Chain A
Amino acid sequence: MKQRICIVQGVRTPMSKAGSDLSSVSADELGVYAVKHLINKTNIDKSLIDNVIFGCVAMPMNAPNIARVISLKSGLSMSLPAYSIHRNCASGMDAIIAACDKIELGDNKMIIAGGAESMSNIPLVYRKSAVKKFTKLATSRTLSSKIKSMLSFRFSDFTPVISLIQGLTDPVTGNIMGKTAEILAREFNISRLEQDQYALRSHIKSTAALQDGIFAEEIVPIPVKPAYKYVVDDNGINSKITLEKLSSKRPYFDRIDGTVTIGNSCQVTDGAAAVLVTTEEEAKKHGLNILGYINHHTEVALSPDRMGLGPIYAINKLIDKSGLKINDYDLFEINEAFAAQVLANQKALDSKLFSEQFLGKSEALGEIPDDKLNVNGGAIALGHPVGMSGTRIVIHLLKEMKRRNLERGIAAICVGGGQGVAIDLSLA
């Protein structure tokens, strides 16, 4: 019989806006804290772990296989393999899926999977023109040619290319992610007001969850050099935000007539998360409490310009696999890349026309009511460390299901470049 795969426990670091509290902590160090606390929290014997898989989008220059660096710095065995995984925003979720696959294949029994991202530390790079001149300078032999190459530099050569923006721009269509949200807003007729209201709700829900100590159940506070001051909470949540303030923000991606602002988009953030994935049998053998089960997972691809619709395609495939209906699920986490993007998914799910045209189904998939979706807010309030969010929403969904004593849920995430990934989770 097929073994059920489960998540034993999950933890995450606080999430801090890029350039703020956690900016001096590298992505691998963030990951180390998550892994060490995960091991402590589960009291797992380290020697039982047989793989470490981490998602990360902007791999640190000095830790190109971040999973291995995290593994070694966490004090895990040198003989433990580790690899990193990259599917943009889904990387953290893909790490969990990869762990499932490895376990299902029988290669591994117990895996630490997670995501780590330090968007504060995504480097600025020299533009191509400058790199060429540097190369020339380095290969100049004579004094005169050295001077000549030095004189060829212009001020503009030293204006850096911001890798962060490059990374958030689709290399095929040339659209920055916000632009894809603008496309969805237009096509699904989502007004600026709707988007701002959604963003406001995200902050309100997160504020309440913060006050209720809901996030504290998954956060491990981490010390920040040089004073080793502990960062305990997420710092993106704005409890004082109002609709007026949100509506006063200028459109960022389409300056002429756009609706997507930085207020109704996710924040650029640092953070890491990790989960322990194993089989039900293994967990019981070693006396580990099971947080929840992974029933199915799917990956899909679609037009890069409409990458935000990744979740609906992934969910569609997921319910085909599970044979359930949308309203059989009790709770959803759809990563909030943009308010417009989540709203578009919600509308598409409830649209017969969308089903007919794009999913080849005669009926709408089904409505996800607001009270089942992102119930404690999402990336708009908390932030979106791109490689980490996929792990975070899985952890959060399981813990919230447990709190509410609910049975089944779906976590889904859209992926830059036009993909979508979803996981079907249950408590029992």
Chain B
Amino acid sequence: MHTAAGAQARLPIRSDMDLVWVRQHVRQAAAQIGFGLVDQTKLVTAASELARNTLVYGGGGTMETEPLAEGGTRGLRLTFSDEGPGIADLEQALSDGFTSGGGLGMGLGGARRLVHEFAIESNPGAGTTVRVTSWVGRAPRPREEI
């Protein structure tokens, strides 16, 4: 695995086997960038939730990983894209306990709590893109923001 290039990649999400590769790739990239064990675990767990959403609700898609550097702080950005049916009510989809797929409804809202930055864009009929970013050594977001 190359040093800087290894963290930048685009992975397909087409089966539950791909979820395993997504988790392994994110862990590897996060370790390479310098995240500690707890932060690696949070990021990989968030990636697993979001990749499963892409697979189950979006009908499959891709994950892109991108290493970042901003004023001496390193970070990792993950972008999950699908061309599925999209989400009609984002507020509802982000609330805990909401599910349309038989899960626990922790996916989106739970993943949001595990990262520093979270952005979602979705249009009914045109797919969904979720972009999350975490920074090495930065404290978790205050609870009231979430």
Verify that A and B bind, or say they do not.
Answer: no
